[in-house]
Amino acid sequence: DAKTTQPPSMDCAEGRAANLPCNHSTISGNEYVYWYRQIHSQGPQYIIHGLKNNETNEMASLIITEDRKSSTLILPHATLRDTAVYYCIVRVAMGNRDDKIIFGKGTRLHILP
């Protein structure tokens, strides 16, 4: 089972910041939080990941709460091309034989013109 909980869908106006929440209350100390997105009928695309600190790259920002039980992905200026399903996942192990990556159902983000 996925270790994360996300709202099934969200709307955001074009040009505004899109804030996508994720709960991962059972996250372990050595588990990273990853975000991916999937545009219809394509393979998922990596967006960003973090462990404890907030992270920012050219696509998005990731805010992780101090207790690490939740996080928020921020798309600062959403465009129509950001319409996709966004997945928040936690990586369950440290690269050993049992390392596997489990996806939940994600959040379907609709960017409204």
Closest distance to other proteins from the beta carbon of 90 (Å): 11
From 17-25, 55-63, 69-77, 93-101, span contacting other proteins (CB under 8 A): 93-101
Closest distance to other proteins from the beta carbon of 84 (Å): 13
DSSP 7: -
Gap between the Cα atoms of 57 and 54, Å rounded:
11
Nearer to other proteins, 77 or 105 (CB): 105
Nearer to other proteins, 43 or 113 (CB): 43
Q: Which of 29, 58, 66, 96 binds other proteins (CB under 8 A)?
A: 96
Is the separation of the CB atoms in 28 and 18 below 8 Å?
no
**What are the CB-based long-range contacts (under 8 Å, 24+) for 42-51?**
44/87, 44/103, 47/73, 47/86, 48/73
